Amino acid sequence: MRSRLLLTLCLLIAVTGITLFMVYGGEKKSEHTDVTLTGIAPGTVNHIRIIRAGQDEIHFEKQSGLWMMQQPYQLRASDLRINTMMNLLGAHSYAQYNVKDTQLSRFLLDHPQVSIEYNGARIDFGDVSPLGEQRYVLYNNVVHIINDALFQQLQAPVYFFLN
């Protein structure tokens, strides 16, 4: 009887020890911060410019709370398209590379096919990453890898952006 009591007591101590280790002494959780592409708040943007190689530039301006295309036409812009472009500002950046530590040509960012400017802050679009569905972009001398959700839309015909 005494040996059973001793075995039960040892098992209780072992379970308590393992529980305490898992709660307090296990692997330290890293403080992972969510890195976004820019720190620009969408509400502060009043001008958007899309620059596309071999195509006309498209300019948008916010007037009295409404987004208007200024170039090549002066018409009301699609709120859906503008909101999609604004989502880029807070896009999650999966990886970052300082321009000093890499060659822009490696990511096809030396001569970007598409760029977008928010109040003059420029984002250049490069190549698709090898993982697919992600793209290299250049912002503020840092190459980021983000989800590839906007590149194709920015190459669409001008009427795509109209209301």
C-alpha span between 162 and 82 (Å, rounded):
10
- Its pTM stands at 0.77
Q: Which residue has the tokens 């709370």?
A: 65
Give the number of other Cβ atoms within 10 Å of residue 118's Cβ: 20
Report how far apart, in Å, the C-alpha atoms of 10 and of each of 6, 15, 23, 25 are.
Answer: 6, 9, 20, 20
C-alpha span between 79 and 62 (Å, rounded):
11
Q: What is the pLDDT of residues 6-44, one digit of tens each?
A: 767 676 677 676 766 666 665 554 455 688 899 999 999
Q: What is the pLDDT of residues 37-79, one digit of tens each?
A: 999 999 999 999 999 998 889 999 999 999 999 999 999 999 9
